[in-house]
Structure 1
Amino acid sequence: MSVPPEIFKAYDIRGLYGDQIGPDTAYAIGRGFARVIAGLAGKPVSETTLGLGRDMRLTAPELAGEYRRGMTDEGADVVDGGQVGTEMLYHLVGSRGLDGGLMCTASHNPKAYTGAKLVKQGAIALSGDEGIQDIRKLIEDGLGDVAATPGSVTDVDLYEEFQAAALKFIDPANVKPLKVAVDGGNGMAGPMVGPLLTQLGLQLDETYWVPNGDFPGHEPNPLLPENRQFIIDLVRESGADLGIAWDGDADRCFFIDDTGEFVDGDFLTAILAQHLLAKSPGETILYDARASRVVADLVTAAGGTPEVNRVGHAFFKTRMKREGSLFGGEVSGHYYFRDFHCADSGTIPALLILEKLSSEGAKLSELLAPLRAKYFISGEINSTVADGPAKMAEIEASYGSLPGAVVTHVDGVSVDFEDWHFNVRMSNTEPLLRLCLESLNSQADMEAKRDEVLGVIRA
């Protein structure tokens, strides 16, 4: 069977419904996934048990059914959680010790997209380096006959047990009745997180809170400014203490402070790390190579050990499992927790921030003010380049030879000076270079250095 090779991404499978992924493709992926997981587990497919979940996309019931049929036709047993948030699929796999799991989702992508997030035992993600390309090759080589005996299907309701597990990260009695504007983006946040927030006695202003794969409000990607303008306006108009927005499959949450300002992911990582280290002192915290120095500085000040890591959930989860790190955060809004199967969650960060604000009697803008006054960050800026490796080498030669430069290669090229630094890395899927730059001097200094480095990239 021929499948579009471009749907097999670095961290998931994703493409346009119909043009790139349809029922036949999903069925074949289900079969290939069952074989790959059995191989990784070192057992026959007939002894393999896989979790399954799906989000609210209009095509999800059909395609999840085909993934399930493919897995059972290979002989694997399936535990089906139905319509859930992605982290609930991780919980299903991790809490029951399943061999792997497949989440039918296209995450934050527009309505026309579909796909799958794939994990092995322990809810550790497959990647292009391990598993995802193996599925593609199995399909292209031909899957052959189905198993003589199909696997079984067990349907489970995960909501109550998942919500109980998430609530263990805080003391509910600490949370005050804050006024919170929430934007579910018509994704999975409403049913997944909503009952917890209601239980905590918050004053909720719920918007786009019901799952709807037509996305009548806006695309479920709060990282894009046009998609978060709604929640920003709502916070300012309502006088809310903060705003929280989730992406489509609700494994990421994004925060708007009480003044209506968006909270950058590295600042949020630093604040979460502080709060978690107060509960569990002396632990190791992971942060990604793009991040502001605020993370390392605040972690160190809180008695923790900061460790820089390669971008991507497969790399965070694998290292956390191996080394026992307490928490990891990415600029993109993925936050990982050791005590939640080392998986990323859009529920737990919301609970922790609500607890921190309540316990300290502080506004989010007050926590952020000293950070915003010292750390001036560019955010991630994309540039189209003809030859990414050559341009990376040029940038390293230009800046790495300057006095005081420290060059590292955790992910792409990072160049650090005493009072500013930057990271440049290639996109996994497009001819792009991604720049993140920070100055510890001023906004104007950051902008000047940003424009200078962009000049080299785009020359």
Structure 2
Amino acid sequence: MLTSATTSYQPAAKFDPITISSFKAYDIRGELGVNLDEEIAYRIGRAFAQILYQRYQAAAQTQADDVATLKPAIVIGSDIRHSSEQLKQAAIKGIVDAGVDVIDLGMSGTEEVYFATSHYQALGGIEVTASHNPINYNGLKLVKEHSKPISADDGLAEIQALAESGQFTTDNQSGKLRLLTDKSAYINHVMTFIDTDKLKPLKLVVNSGNGSAGPVVDLLVDKLAQADAPIEVIKLHHTPDGSFPNGIPNPMIEANRVATQQAVLENNADLGIAFDGDFDRCFLFDEHGEFIDGSYIVGMLAQAFLNKYPSESIVYDPRVIYNTEAVVEEHNGKAVISKSGHSFIKQVMRDSGAIYGGEMSAHHYFRDFFYCDSGMIPWLLTIELLSITSKTLSELVTGYIAAYPSSGELNFRLTTYDAPAIIDAIEEKFSSQNPNKSTLDGLSLNFGDWRFNLRASNTEPLIRLNIESRGDQPLLAAKTQDIQQWLATQGAVPA
């Protein structure tokens, strides 16, 4: 049931031009009190709503755009960070001042905003979150109609320009604010991805990292219990707590994996699962507590989908490709490569009609989830796969790892040259070997028995290196050492 709610933030009477440096390639992320505060959140909310509403009005006049069939409302949610509620309320105030209605989901994960934006046929959605960033950061993730992403070259720059100028329209009647915290529709939809009748007895360790995942995990576990699924769940760091007493939830940091690994071993669990703060990423540990690199999970889930839906397309990013391409070919699927980054992956999936897309960064995208990424669907699919195959997770991925070993993503900070200069220089370094070259995303050079991808980060001042080989671990180790040493001569130091 929808009920009314109130806002607390009150904007200034006049909007002077400002510079907002928290806009990134795909979202808004900044340091609190430095380049992100309530005024900035208000401006972003109002600019976002004004631009989407103007498009809606134009479409409604001609009925020539599917935007015309939507409801003039924006969905918004926020993670558990202490600053998130205040920033959300400021953004809400901006939206309603733009004359657009708001559906407030309360505390939620990013994928709940994705779901609700399409489910409620809203003009767009906002999640207030900094995901895995330090505690003094926060941000906003934006999507437009049908949960489509917004990037710097597809609307985000326009939103930034309007937010900075403060030249908002003032003749609209204020929008209405409604609070809707019932997660039933979202939970029911997520559960459609698996057949609970196929589940066999499994013991899981689930580490929510004191982020926003806990309440959703509880609801999914309840659904499994209602279906009499023989799944035991051990909950770790489960209670949402914006002070993050057990550290920022970021399983990409090796030190943050220890608690999950230990819990798997101590409880003799079949699977470990960990989330980042807004749970749009899912990280898996096998029955030995070993962390499984995301690129191998992409191959595993691709196989799972192709077993169910033969000949479908699978989208993947160019950082690590050997295993995914081999799996898709073996199972008669169609391999479709995309530049990394959610806006690119989602567009390529829509263009190709792909059933699944995955990135080694632990983002997994699903056609039947509005082409969006979800952190909850992957672990449900994994327990179904473990049950169907009667194999352990290590048994499912060990063959992948042996056949196509990889370095994992290696990050470097630049002290001398910029990223384009280093990428040009490394291409020249290997030019005499005539590798197969791709510049789809940074630089990929493929030598047949090994390859690497070097690219600049879209979100941090880093370059990222991934190296892989075809079943040759010594070759992989040698090439990794060689390139790392060369990067050091170029002023790139391990991050």
TM-score by length of 1: 0.96
Q: One-letter code of the match for 2:52?
A: I
Q: One-letter code of the match for 1:279?
A: K
SS at match of 2:133: coil
- Taking the TM superposition and a 5 Å limit, the aligned residue runs for 1:412-451 are 412-451=442-481
Q: 1:174 aligns to what?
A: 198
Unaligned runs of 5+ in 1: none
Shift of the alpha carbon at 1:112?
1.6
Q: 2:30 aligns to what?
A: 15
How far apart, in 2, do the equivalents of 1:152 and 1:117 lie? 22
CA 1:362–1:210: 2 relative to 1, 3 Å: same
- Taking the TM superposition and a 5 Å limit, the aligned residue runs for 1:16-415 are 16-39=31-54, 41=56, 43=58, 48-144=72-168, 146-200=170-224, 201-385=230-414, 386-403=417-434, 405-415=435-445
How far apart, in 2, do the equivalents of 1:127 and 1:98 lie? 19
Contact 1:231-1:245 within 8 A present in 2 as well: yes
Q: Which moved more, 1:136-145 or 1:342-351?
A: 136-145
Contact 2:346-2:371 within 8 A present in 1 as well: yes
Shift of the alpha carbon at 1:328?
0.4
How far apart, in 2, do the equivalents of 1:256 and 1:2 lie? 49
SS at match of 2:210: coil
Q: One-letter code of the match for 1:167?
A: M
Q: One-letter code of the match for 2:174?
A: P
Contact 1:375-1:439 within 8 A present in 2 as well: yes
Shift of the alpha carbon at 1:4?
5.2
Q: Say what the alpha-carbon RMSD is for the aligned residues.
A: 1.8
How far apart, in 2, do the equivalents of 1:136 and 1:390 lie? 29
Q: Which moved more, 1:148-157 or 1:409-418?
A: 148-157
Q: 2:7 aligns to what?
A: none
Q: One-letter code of the match for 2:40?
A: T
Shift of the alpha carbon at 1:229?
1.4
CA 1:40–1:423: 2 relative to 1, 3 Å: farther
SS at match of 1:377: coil
Contact 2:17-2:166 within 8 A present in 1 as well: no
Contact 1:400-1:406 within 8 A present in 2 as well: no
Aligned residue pairs, count:
458
Q: One-letter code of the match for 1:9?
A: K
SS at match of 2:205: strand
* Structure 1 residues 251-302: Cα deviation after superposition (integer angstroms, max 9, x where no partner): 1110000111101111000000111111111000001110241011011111
CA 1:453–1:96: 2 relative to 1, 3 Å: same
Matched residues, percent identical? 39
Shift of the alpha carbon at 1:156?
1.8
Contact 2:162-2:168 within 8 A present in 1 as well: no
Shift of the alpha carbon at 1:44?
8.3
Contact 2:20-2:40 within 8 A present in 1 as well: no
Shift of the alpha carbon at 1:3?
4.9
Q: One-letter code of the match for 2:162?
A: L
How far apart, in 1, do the equivalents of 2:461 and 2:30 lie? 18
Q: 1:452 aligns to what?
A: 482
TM-score by length of 2: 0.89
CA 1:22–1:94: 2 relative to 1, 3 Å: same
Unaligned runs of 5+ in 2: 1-15, 61-67, 225-229, 490-495
Contact 1:94-1:122 within 8 A present in 2 as well: yes
Q: One-letter code of the match for 2:53?
A: A
How far apart, in 1, do the equivalents of 2:319 and 2:54 lie? 34
How far apart, in 2, do the equivalents of 1:82 and 1:347 lie? 19
* Structure 1 residues 372-417: Cα deviation after superposition (integer angstroms, max 9, x where no partner): 21211111112223221111111112224414x1001110110112
